[in-house]
Amino acid sequence: MEGKEEHVPLKKRKVEQDFTEKDFAEKLQSFRGFQTVKVLRESNANKCLFLHGKLNGQDAVVLLEKSPFDKEKVDELMNENTSLVETLKNDIYSTYTAFPEKSLNAVKATLIHPATPKHITKYTDQEAFVVHETEDIYQSVTLPYIESQAFSIQWVYNILEKKTESDRIVYEDDSPEVGFILLPDMKWDRKDIDALYLQAVVHKHGVKSLRDLDQSYLPLLRNILTKGEAAIKNKYGIPRSKLKVYIHYQPSYYHFHVHFTHVKLENPGFEADRAHLLSDVIENIEMKSDFYQHKTLTYKVREQDKLYQALKEYGYFEKEDNKS
């Protein structure tokens, strides 16, 4: 693999001794003196490489991400300055390795320095596990875990009480039973319409997740879907057919909320094993009121998630892996 070949010599390279603290304090001009300790994560799909290294004797984390193409610069890309090396030719098909000029070929680099052990863990690839959460596992492990955790959701209450982000509200239905606040998600820059990402946070307290939903919540769910979509069409001109409206299970916080994203947004949150389309959820409950109390729900946990620890202590993985 090309990427790997490029990075091996880095590890072997000798640290340059003439790099002083003063040089670093002034401005980092290159990675001269950077000594790679470990590749923390590599993703071909996301075209990124996260490294732990030493810089100036201290721990550093470097996040390297290949930049997306800029469609405004197509003319600069498609000319004689981009050299080609042919890698395959077959009839009318040919492939090349293309070398565009430097400015069109940038890599975004984020440096955390000095990095703490927490930073190193945060960017380390963690082992993932698939959980088939039955009704019984939910009652025995997940529910007690949710109830025992003091999740900090002050930021949610701040939104609902209009203490923060009130100037960003796109739409509000203030009914305590079926009402919600629709506002931009923190992940959205609020500029790129193709990356639109809004969140509906319900006024009603006590609805933890998908697991709690039954037919008594149908008015709430239908209200969010129809009024949320209408508000987005009204404000941004984006129709239903361009929107993904879904709920995460497991969510990262247990106050009921719904995600609205543009169909073009390839966000990692919309994973087949975590996103449940709101329209499907409504239909499932219409067919069977207690569908989500009984349904086995499948999702992924990572080894440093507290839920992973709780499942492990319960012996879930041992039983699961002995089934096959």
Q: Is 52 annotated as a binding residue?
A: no
Residue with tokens 């606040």: 181
Q: CA 235 to CA 255: how far, in whole Å?
A: 26
- 147 is known to lie in a ligand binding site: no
Report phi then psi at 84, rounded to 5: -125, 140
183 binds ligand M7G (CB under 6 A): yes
Our finding on whether 181 is near ligand M7G (CB under 6 A) is: no
Integer Cα distance of 69 and 80 in angstroms: 18
Our finding on whether 262 is near ligand M7G (CB under 6 A) is no
Q: Check whether 258 is labelled as a binding-site residue.
A: yes
Of the candidate residues 100, 207, 251, 312, the single one contacting ligand M7G (CB under 6 A): 251
Element spanning 287, H or E:
helix 278-287
Q: Which of 19, 24, 171, 253 binds ligand M7G (CB under 6 A)?
A: 253
Minimum distance from residue 267 beta carbon to ligand M7G (Å): 8
The answer to whether residue 257 is catalytic is yes
Site string for ligand M7G, 196-215 (x = CB under 6 A): ---x----------------
Estimate the share of the chain in helix, then strand, then coil, as percent rounded to the nearest 5.
35, 25, 35
* Among the residue ranges 28-36, 44-52, 249-257, 301-309, the one whose residues contact ligand M7G (CB under 6 A): 249-257
Distances (CA, A) of 99 to 1, 104, 106: 17, 9, 12
Q: How many Cβ atoms are within 10 Å of 107's Cβ, its own excluded? A: 11
For 30-53, the DSSP string reads S-TT-EEEEEEEEETTTTEEEEEE
Give me the sheet containing 275-277, strands edge to edge.
Answer: 171-173, 180-184, 197-202, 257-262, 243-248, 275-277
Distance from chain centroid for Cα 310? 23
- The correct pick among 187, 205, 288, 294 for binding ligand M7G (CB under 6 A) is 187
Any binding-site annotation on 250? yes
Tokens of 19: 């790099």
- Of 52, 205, 257, 262, which is the active-site residue? 257
Total binding residues for ligand M7G by CB under 6 A?
12
Q: Is 269 in the site for ligand M7G (CB under 6 A)?
A: yes
Q: Stretches 57-65, 82-90, 96-104, 246-254: which one binds ligand M7G (CB under 6 A)?
A: 246-254
**What is the smallest separation between the CB atom of 127 and ligand M7G, expressed in angstroms?**
18
What residues line the site for ligand M7G (CB under 6 A)? 155, 165, 183, 185-187, 199, 248, 251-253, 269
Catalytic positions: 257
Going by the annotation, the residues of the binding site for substrate are: 155, 165, 185, 187, 248-259
